[in-house]
Amino acid sequence: MFSIFSSKHTADLSFIGADMHSHLLPGIDDGLQKMEDTISFIKQLNRLGYQKLICTPHIFSGVHPNSPATILPVLNSVKEILRNREIPVIIEAAAEYMIDHEFAQSVKNGDQLLTFGDNYILIEMSYVAASSYLNQVIFDLKLAGLQPVIAHPERYSYYHLQFHNYEELKDRGCLFQVNLLSLCGYYGNPIKKVAEKLLKNKMIDFVGTDMHHQNHLQTTLKFAEDKKLYKLLENAPLLNKTLL
């Protein structure tokens, strides 16, 4: 996929190609709030090598009550500015869906859902406990022809001592997305170790920035200069580039 030729590495994430998990769209969730910040972050990620950025605002009833009606107009505004400023990056939007009762009902009802690629849909759970709707949602998404992608499974600490839960999710046909921030230890060593174990077992399908704010950006830029990142990912069967 790529090689490391020296101890000093130049930051270049072009081998990833597309970021499929971020919160760059301004003012609609707990990510960036100002349009100028959005444009600045996009430019910096583009310089880092990303050719496409897929924004995934939270959709979480009672917390981030987003929908295609709130997300797509903001996406179009960002696209217009990028076009006017001749910034050469593709930007799209999907969503990061919290697996709760409302989402389970939306899937059953056949509501419009925001996906990426051909049929991928990004889903997440609480960091406190696994969702009781998880198995049903996976089944209903697959029935609807959608491919569930579990966001940052390494951050679900209730699975850390029960690794078989990860294996069972893979057996049910789920794909996994790991955060670059997890691999550099941003969320702590236990999460980093699980992320590395999932990679070692070739269970990771996508990597994402999960970009929310300036600290995330600066950490990502710094980590991209560390050759350890490239060694971690060099044999991972990543699907990010298939999104280009």
Q: What is the CATH number of domain 18-243?
A: 3.20.20.140
Q: What is the pLDDT of residue 53?
A: 98
Burial pattern 161-190, b for ≥16 Cβ within 10 A else e, equals: eeeebbeebbeeebbbbbbbbbbbebbeee
Residue 8's pLDDT is what?
52
Residue 236 DSSP class: -
Which pLDDT score, from 0 to 100, does residue 184 have? 97
Structure tokens at 103: 């989402």
pLDDT average per 10 residues of sequence, the chain (244 residues): 49 97 98 98 98 98 96 98 97 98 97 97 98 98 98 98 97 98 98 98 98 98 95 95 98
Of 92, 143, 137, 138, which is closest to residue 114 (Cα–Cα)?
92
Whole-prediction pTM value? 0.95
Radius of gyration of the chain (CA): 17
* 10-47 burial: b if 16+ Cβ within 10 Å, else e: ebebeebbbbbbbbbbbebbebbeeeebbbebbeebbe
Q: What does the block give as tokens for 244?
A: 């280009």
The reported pLDDT for the residue numbered 9 is 67
pLDDT of residue 7: 44
pLDDT at 10: 84
pLDDT at 237: 95
Q: Residues of 107-143 as b/e, b for ≥16 C-beta within 10 angstroms?
A: beeeeebbbbbeebbbbbbeeeebbebbeebbebbee
